[in-house]
Chains A and B, each alone.
Chain A
């Protein structure tokens, strides 16, 4: 089964959040974890991007592509990008993969490629 990244929908006012926040930014009235989890869409368009050359200590690659994507439901997220010639506004498709490896942990996040 494909992995997902989840948004959080307030059960009182339907405001969607990603990432999680304790208090809903829409109504500010929710009780503890009064949210439904909803998988984030994987398709969207690239809003901005960069290619990073000096990476933090844990990365053993020469460069890393990063971008902010506006997803099909209008929400946004940051992810890694694997796109040869990225352009602002281009359609992209995400998949949930390992984005950071540490000695005892793999961290999963969204990796976007050209759609």
Chain B
């Protein structure tokens, strides 16, 4: 297998965007191509979940490859729920590692604000089991809420811990100009003050408004290249050293231990094993905090902390910038936003930014090893990646 490097990165602002979906994907891609210094690619993968359903567009990759004047390169869209981005990176990795392609553009984009919030919630809920879950009105916040209830009962996680994740990540987004939420929040305002229940109502008990990521439009892109090409292009050498992907039962109730995220554990374990790393080697991590509880649970399942102790590490500040393992220093999904198909690629964008030392006010000192966890479904399809800077 050949080594695979990230030679270019690009992103759009995550917010409500008044551009067609294909232009959002193409803009991020153009930024990544310019960053890498390439005008030709062998293959394009475009990660997206809702084009057909939300934006009434199919075959998105064909639109993007043409708009970027990259024809006749191969092109394909990858729809894998919220793990579409990570899955597209994996496909691009395999294309370069196999020797089939030398330069692959991997883009992700979503335009969810084209419909109202209720329709967006329903669109994401279509990833649940159609007979055993969807018909009951289950949404992703509902799944996350039921999972949170169990976590509270079993491990002593409280609403305060959840709010601490929300405050940490939303305020981290203030250091990221591309991030959706640019409003500082405090524990006082969302939890302790008399107005907290008005500011921060329940969306699915025990989860509140500020426990969930916003609904965002946006795009992100990477250019993946072979070692020879990476050295020719002369950009900082950031190598993808570990790739892991794992699945779990479609219906959440079928899992033997409902507080376990087996696919997260397996995907992370496989990525670390491939890279020859341990979780303790990681300098900076992007976890999939679509809901605040997920950052806590994933920080345990990927191996940063023992099971049931993620919230204690959070209390000690170990997951904040300057802590032992800074998590979501660019805002995470909570602060940066969650254009579903773009998220896995935006996580990689943040890690490459960090490993290049370009993080500015949110830079993790001497970051050499990064990690991403892109969580699809309700934990039934997960992609984890490790990135290392080579000097």
**Could you list which residues of chain A lie within 8 angstroms of chain B, going by C-beta atoms?**
18-20, 47-59, 64, 66-68, 76-80, 88, 99-100, 107, 109
Contacts and interface: CB of A to CB of B under 8 A. Distances in A.
A57 B118 contact: yes
Number of contact residues on B: which range applies? Answer: 35 or more
Contacts of A56: 118-119, 121-122, 125, 137, 139
B205 A51 contact: yes
B201 interface: yes
Given A47-B258, A78-B136, 8 more contacts: A19-B132, A19-B251, A50-B149, A51-B204, A53-B201, A58-B122, A64-B137, A99-B135
- Say whether chain A's binding surface is mostly helix, strand, loop, or mixed: strand
A76 B253 contact: yes
B188 interface: no
Contacts of B73: none
Nearest to B122: A56
B247 to A, nearest CB: 13
A76 B142 CA distance: 17
A59 B207 CA distance: 20
A76 B203 CA distance: 25
Contacts of B141: 52, 54
A67 B204 CA distance: 12
A100 B135 contact: yes
A68 B137 contact: no
Contacts of B147: 48
B136 A76 contact: no
B235 interface: no
Interface string B117-151: 11101100100010111011111011001110110
